[in-house]
């Protein structure tokens, strides 16, 4: 079959929902409509894998494609991992998944369905999302990209000149959410992180994870604020802040300004190691359906203004900090792109 008909499929295996996306051999997206199904993790890991294969079949049928055209599959899954392709104990998955070799199981399920071996690559979901955002932002260039997506946690990825993420040796590369924040510059105290570290992980100061604590501190000095009298629990109060900020609530804006400063400092720290041209900011605060343009502009401007003084002059002139563009598509599309890039490197290798 001619290469023009080849497709690369991405499976985004989330803890609750799994999605399928695909790209053609030239990296263009098959469809911006994702196929989405419950992961069904309560049924156990083998059932989840069978469900992923069934979803690919469904996706192929929907787009008039068949298994003969599938040249590679990428799988985006949440960490942590024991080693490549093997889940470790995770707060988001049933205990049966700990130690499950998803790479081996999915590889054999794909081979059985396709009637031949289909190469599979596995990666951290945040890294896979970064690959798709990077391809989008850098276009035809080979500039490098860091992606920071604050949400319930802080998703971080670094994408190199070949378009591939830094995975590290245990798929824990670029877990930059758990690097320490420069607390002296933020005037903040070290707060414990969900990861167990107490050195003041950046994630705590930039995401929903630490927001209830930051808010509680703030309400002590603002006892008349509407949230101080709210019947909501601390997490619900924190979730209310995004809406309040859109209406110009001063306390809410101050908290997001603080988070933006913390993220700006992290951009500068990471630039010392990574030196990327592009910084893509994703996550819930950049979601055009949840926040206003004014809010997003303000947040990005503070990140820029905070980072810039710490950069080298050449970086200051060159670095561009932009909002993420792909939303829910990014993980499945990124996984499909990684499968494509690996297939290109296989076919260009003289040993092959």
Q: Which residues are within 8 A (CB) of 245 and not within 5 positions of it... i.e. 6 or more apart?
A: 252, 253, 255, 256, 291, 295
Q: Residues touching Zn ion: how many (CB under 5 A)?
A: 5
| Contact pattern from residue 100 through residue 139 relative to Zn ion, giving x for each residue in contact according to CB under 5 A and a dash for the rest | ----------------------------------------
Do 208 and 215 meet the contact criterion of CB atoms below 8 Å apart?
Answer: no
Site for Zn ion in 201-220 (CB under 5 A): 201
Question: Smallest Cα–Cα separation from 344: which of 76, 162, 166, 171?
Answer: 162
Nearer to Zn ion, 37 or 197 (CB): 197
| β-bridge mates for residue 150, sequence order | 154
Q: How far is CA 272 from the centre of its chain?
A: 21
Angle at 315 between CA 202 and CA 144, to 5 degrees: 75
195 lies in the site for Zn ion, by CB under 5 A: yes
Task: Please say which residue, 149 or 337, places its beta carbon nearer to Zn ion.
Answer: 149
Per the DSSP assignment, residues forming a β-bridge with 321 are 279
Contact of 173 with 270, CB cutoff 8 Å = no
Q: Segment contacting Zn ion (CB under 5 A): 13-21, 25-33, 196-204, 344-352?
A: 196-204
- Binding span for Zn ion by CB under 5 A among 49-57, 185-193, 243-251, 322-330: 185-193
3-state SS track over 55-111: HHHHHHHHCCCCHHHEEEEEEEECCCEEECCEECCCCCCCHHHCCCEHHHHHHHHHH
Shortest distance, position 210 Cβ to Zn ion, whole Å: 10
Minimal distance, residue 214 CB to Zn ion, in Å:
15
Give min distance, CB of 203 to Zn ion, in A. Answer: 5
Closest CA to 205 of 164, 139, 268, 263: 263
Q: In what order do the strands lie in the sheet with 154-159?
A: 154-159, 145-150, 278-281, 320-323
Confirm or reject binding of residue 79 to Zn ion (CB under 5 A).
no
Burial of 200 (0-12, 13-18, 19+ CB in 10 A): buried
What angle separates helix 250-274 from helix 234-246, to the nearest 10 degrees? 90
User: Binding segment for Zn ion among 156-164, 172-180, 182-190, 323-331 (CB under 5 A)?
Assistant: 172-180
CA distance 169 to 158: 15
By beta-carbon proximity to Zn ion, the closer residue of 51 and 78 is 78
From the list 55-63, 70-78, 91-99, 188-196, the region that binds Zn ion by CB under 5 A is 188-196
Among 41-49, 86-94, 128-136, 177-185, the segment contacting Zn ion (CB under 5 A): 177-185
> 178 or 225: whose CB is closer to Zn ion?
178
In the structure encoding, which two tokens stand for residue 274, read together? 């990574």
Site for Zn ion contains 154 (CB under 5 A) = no
CA-closest candidate to residue 124, choices 338, 318, 270, 276:
338
**Whole-number minimum distance, CB 272 to Zn ion, in Å?**
20
Considering only the stretches 77-85, 137-145, 161-169, 199-207, report the one whose residues sit in contact with Zn ion under the rule CB under 5 A. Answer: 199-207
Q: Does 304 engage in binding with Zn ion (CB under 5 A)?
A: no
Of the candidate residues 132, 154, 193, 340, the single one contacting Zn ion (CB under 5 A): 193
Report how far residue 171's alpha carbon sits from residue 80's, in angstroms, rounded to the nearest whole number.
8
Query: Which CB atom, from 192 or from 228, has the smaller least distance to Zn ion?
Result: 192
The window from 13-21, 178-186, 232-240, 304-312 that contacts Zn ion (CB under 5 A) reads: 178-186
Residue 178 near Zn ion by CB under 5 A:
yes
- Is 197 a binding residue for Zn ion by CB under 5 A? The answer is yes
237 binds Zn ion (CB under 5 A): no
Nearer residue to Zn ion within complex by CB, 53 or 201: 201
Q: Which residues bind Zn ion (CB under 5 A)?
A: 178, 193, 195, 197, 201
């Amino acid at each position: 079959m001619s290469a023009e008909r080849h497709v690369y499929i991405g499976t985004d295996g989330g803890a609750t929902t799994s999605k399928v996306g695909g790209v053609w051999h030239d990296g263009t997206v098959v469809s911006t409509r994702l196929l989405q199904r419950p992961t069904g993790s309560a049924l156990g890991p083998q059932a989840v894998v069978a469900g992923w294969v069934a979803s690919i079949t469904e996706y192929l049928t929907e787009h008039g494609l068949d298994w003969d055209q599938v040249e590679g599959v990428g799988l985006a899954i949440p960490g942590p991992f024991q080693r490549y392709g093997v889940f470790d104990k995770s707060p988001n998955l049933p205990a049966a998944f700990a130690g499950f070799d998803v790479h081996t199981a999915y590889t054999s399920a794909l081979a059985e369905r396709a009637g031949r071996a289909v190469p599979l690559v596995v990666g951290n979901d945040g890294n896979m999302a970064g690959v798709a955002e990077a391809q989008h932002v850098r276009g035809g260039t080979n500039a490098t990209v860091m992606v920071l997506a604050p949400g319930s946690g802080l998703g971080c990825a670094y994408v190199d000149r070949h378009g591939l993420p830094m995975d590290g040796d245990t798929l824990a590369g670029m877990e930059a959410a758990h690097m320490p924040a420069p607390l002296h510059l933020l005037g903040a105290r070290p707060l414990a992180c969900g990861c167990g570290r107490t050195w003041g992980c950046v994630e705590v100061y930039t995401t929903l994870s630490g927001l209830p604590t930051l808010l509680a501190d703030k309400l002590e000095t603002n006892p008349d604020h509407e949230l101080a009298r709210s019947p909501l629990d601390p997490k619900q109060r924190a979730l209310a802040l995004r809406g309040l900020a859109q209406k110009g609530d001063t306390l809410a804006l101050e908290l997001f300004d603080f988070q933006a400063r913390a993220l700006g400092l992290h951009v500068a720290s990471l630039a010392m190691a990574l030196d990327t041209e592009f910084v893509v900011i994703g996550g819930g605060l950049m979601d055009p359906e949840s926040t206003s343009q004014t809010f997003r502009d303000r947040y990005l401007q503070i990140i820029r203004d905070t980072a810039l003084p710490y950069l080298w002059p050449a970086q200051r002139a060159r670095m561009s900090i932009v909002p993420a563009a792909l939303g829910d598509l990014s993980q499945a599309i990124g996984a499909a792109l990684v499968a494509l890039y690996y297939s290109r490197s296989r076919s260009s290798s003289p040993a092959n």
